[in-house]
A = this chain, B = another copy of it.
Amino acid sequence: MKNIKAFAPATIANFNVGYDVLGLSLNNIGDEVELTFNDTNENKIIQIINGDNLPYEIDENCCSVVIRKIQEAQHDFRGVDIVLNKGFAAGSGLGSSSASSAAAAYGYNKLIGSPYSNKELVAFAAEGEKIACGSAHVDNVAPAILGGIILSKGNKPSDIIELPIIDNLYAVTLYPNISVNTSDSRNILKTDVPLADFSKQVSFMGTFVASLYEKDINLFSDSLQDIVIEPIRSLLIPKFKEMKTIALKNSALSFGISGSGPSVFAIAEGLENANKIELALNSIYDNVDISIQTYINALSKESGARILN
């Protein structure tokens, strides 16, 4: 095999209850990375499609950084030409750098004969995150590789838990095209959490995980609350309260910020509810001059990284 084309999806990190440790993959939005052995010992970014501001320098582009880390671990330095095709906006809060990093890790691993398991690839993809965002949390890259809802208490394969998924759930995602920098969105957070909120938020994570195993929609909905991060970060998102109110009125099981925002998401039971919520969310921005994009994705364990050719 000389050439491979890999896809990895956008992801909703945090997912209300798991700040920096939980994420959900979105099946049909994502990035493509095409890799072709170039018969040298150098990697090269050949083309970046739909990513005007992304770097071509191999030490700065998350794809080439991830591939280099795998090469170093394998002591195999066969270089590749890299074409990156961005499927959604950087800075959207939907795990843009993670989708690229995950696609690069997944594709390169397959290209060299799959020495690593998917869970082992997470730590490599996290190196791309580190370059792009300054921190190596795996809440985006883990679901971008593995698909579904992934809980991670660390980077090691044994730290990464693939949670069950309840049938017939849909994520409705809305991306308002405003710029929220991940590090700005981190910096406005208070550095400490009041003890009572901490305790409550820990319980929400616990009951959320139980709800997935019990397939208990009411508990799922009751549990998906963020009393720590959302009250602060939502301040940076225009019309957040209005969107949340209208989504919940339209039967959303939960509503929250995707990663560090500005994208927001609702979870709906059934496609009909998802469509209603999408319409309702759109209506909130009717009179505001911010362009928005909405997506509907079925929650699925088969929504992780994949080979396209």
Residues of A whose CB lies within 8 Å of any CB of B are 17-22, 151-153, 158-159, 161, 163, 189-195, 198-210, 213, 218-219, 222-223, 228
Cα distance, A213 to B162, chains bound together (Å): 12
Please name the residue on chain B nearest to A160 by beta carbon. Answer: B207
Report if A206-B22 is in contact (Cβ < 8 Å); known contacts: A191-B194, A198-B228, A201-B198. Answer: yes
Q: Which 9 A-B pairs have the closest CB atoms?
A: A192-B192, A21-B203, A153-B203, A209-B209, A213-B213, A20-B199, A193-B198, A205-B206, A193-B193
Most buried by B among A199, A206, A207, A218: A206
Are B18 and A153 in touch, CB under 8 angstroms? no
B203 touches A152 (CB 8 A): yes
A194's partner among B19, B158, B192 (CB-CB below 8 A) is: B192
Q: Most chain-B CB neighbours within 10 Å: which of A161, A201, A204, A205?
A: A205
CB atoms of B21 and A199 under 8 A apart: yes
User: Could you list 10 further interchain pairs (A-B, Cβ under 8 angstroms) beyond the known A18-B203, A153-B204?
Assistant: A19-B195, A19-B199, A22-B206, A151-B203, A158-B218, A159-B222, A161-B206, A193-B195, A198-B201, A203-B205
Q: Report Cα–Cα, A153/B199, bound state, in Å.
A: 9
B residues less than 8 Å from A153 (CB atoms): 200, 203-204, 206-207, 222-223
Name the B residues within 8 Å of A195 (CB-CB). 19, 189-193
B18:A161 contact, CB within 8 angstroms: no
- On chain B, the residues within 8 Å of A22 by CB distance are 203, 206
Q: How far is the CB of A274 from chain B (nearest CB, A)?
A: 25
User: With A and B bound together, what is the CA distance between A151 and B19 in angstroms?
Assistant: 20
Given A158-B222, A195-B191, A206-B18 contact (CB < 8 Å): yes
- For the complex, give the distance between the alpha carbons of A222 and B199 in Å: 20
Given contacts A195-B190, A198-B198, whether A206 and B158 have CB atoms under 8 Å apart is no
User: A17: which of B151, B202, B218 is its contact (CB, 8 Å)?
Assistant: B202
Chain B residue with Cβ nearest A21: B203
* Complex CA–CA separation, A59 to B125 (angstroms): 61
Whether B21 lies near A210 (C-beta < 8 A) is no
Residues of B within 8 A of A210 (CB): 151, 161, 163, 209, 213
**Roughly how many angstroms separate A153 CA and B208 CA in the complex, as a whole number?**
10
Could you tell me the distance between the alpha carbons of A158 and B200 in the complex, rounded to whole angstroms?
A: 15
Q: Given the complex of chains A and B, what is the CA–CA distance between A190 and B191 in angstroms?
A: 14
A18 to B210, CA, bound (A): 14
Known A207-B161, A210-B209: A19·B202 in contact at CB below 8 Å: yes
From B151, B190, B193, contact of A206 by CB (8 A) = B151
A223 / chain B contacts, CB cutoff of 8 Å: 153
Q: Are B203 and A206 in contact (CB under 8 A)?
A: no
Report the bound CA distance from A20 to B202 in whole Å: 10
11 sampled A-B residue pairs with Cβ under 8 A = A19-B198, A19-B199, A21-B200, A21-B206, A151-B203, A151-B206, A153-B203, A153-B222, A153-B223, A202-B205, A205-B205
